[in-house]
Amino acid sequence: MDLQSAEIWRSLLAQAAEVCASELRIMEVCGTHTNAIAQNNLRSLLPENVQLISGPGCPVCVSGVLFIEKIRSLLRSNITVAMFGDLLRIPGSQGTLMGEKNLKVVYSPEDALEYARQNPEQEVVFAAVGFAPTLSAAAALIMECRACGVENFSLLSDFKELLPVLRMLCAQRGLHGLLLPGHVASITGKNYFRNLPVPGVVAGFEPENILHSLQIILQAIAGSQLDLLVNNYPSAVRENGNTAALKLIEAVFEVSDSVWRGLGEVPGGGWKLRNEYAQFDAEKRYDLTGVQASENPACRCGEVLTGKISPRECPLFGKVCTPRNPAGACMSSSEGSCAAEFNYAGGSDL
């Protein structure tokens, strides 16, 4: 964005916010939004009374240390675990998974299944994290496994259901608006976010689209349109979402309680495989109920993820916790708010 455009947006946002309350807290939920906002220094264009805080939209970050330790338990039982690369650097109770044997880094759920097919003598588990887009891909994968008779593949699921957490954060953090995730909405649809207590806008990822979405939110707050819900990403998001993907999810998974980093166990905050697909459930297949884990008490990643503090308010930020040596999930993942702050807003890698 050039300087002239930036100044135009600064003026438009100031006009939208000038009749609002003295301080407004708007949360951007998506980790991709967090990175785009930091990379383009969009916070510098906001009026003084508008605080844009990062939320729990990094799927790797919101998975707790117990998930990491369950992966480690599988690996040390000579089971191959396929996972996304970001998970390798998330610290568990016993450190990260770097250096563990039997790891296979993949770029999609389909890669994990293909590896299992090519290596039928190995037990292969896909360590699955994410929201609706990855969830729908995993649902299709499990249905394919059943149809093709693949017997050496299973799923260690830590998929998250976003809506209960958004409602919780609106109440706990005194939010006034939500910049809603375009990637999630491409599957769930805009209407998934109905009945939130604050105005919300589903946004794309270009700087101008993000700023326009923030302008809409500020105008809604100024006009007391607390139930406003706008799709500002119509090229990718429909009103009712991707109906084929949603049917797949409904067929294979069911909503369950889930532990979110920084929030603890959230009722209805996750997904698990339905009983008819239990043969593909790694939790049941390998009995991981005895695995234990504990969070690093010095890391405040959970508070960053839920908007309680900013990355720089964590005493570890930029000192003992850097992208090269992360102490917490928010610095480990490419979508983490601490990593975005460090990489684009002048961290110091000591």
Rg (CA), the chain: 21
Q: What is the separation, in whole angstroms, between the first and last Cα of the chain?
A: 31
Q: What is the pLDDT along the chain (350 residues), one digit of tens a residue?
A: 888 899 999 999 999 998 886 789 999 999 999 999 999 999 999 999 999 999 998 888 998 899 999 999 999 999 999 999 889 988 888 889 999 999 999 998 899 999 999 999 999 999 999 999 999 999 999 999 999 999 999 999 999 999 999 999 999 989 999 999 999 999 999 999 999 999 999 999 999 999 999 999 999 999 999 999 999 999 999 999 999 999 999 999 999 999 998 888 999 999 999 999 999 999 999 999 899 988 888 999 999 999 999 999 999 999 999 998 898 899 988 889 999 999 997 654 33
Q: What is the 3-state secondary structure (H, E, C) of 240-251?
A: CCCHHHHHHHHH
30 phi and psi angles, rounded to 5 deg: -85, 140
The token pair at 319 is 């000192």
Q: How far apart are CA 333 and CA 329, in angstroms?
A: 6
Q: How far is CA 37 from CA 66, 329, 335, in A?
A: 31, 19, 12
pTM of the model: 0.92
Q: The dihedral of CA 244, 27, 33, 325: what is its sign?
A: negative
> Are the C-beta atoms of residues 162 and 131 closer than 8 Å to each other?
yes
Which residue, 248, 263, 289, is CA-closest to 137?
Answer: 248
Please say whether the beta carbons of 80 and 114 come within 8 A.
Answer: no
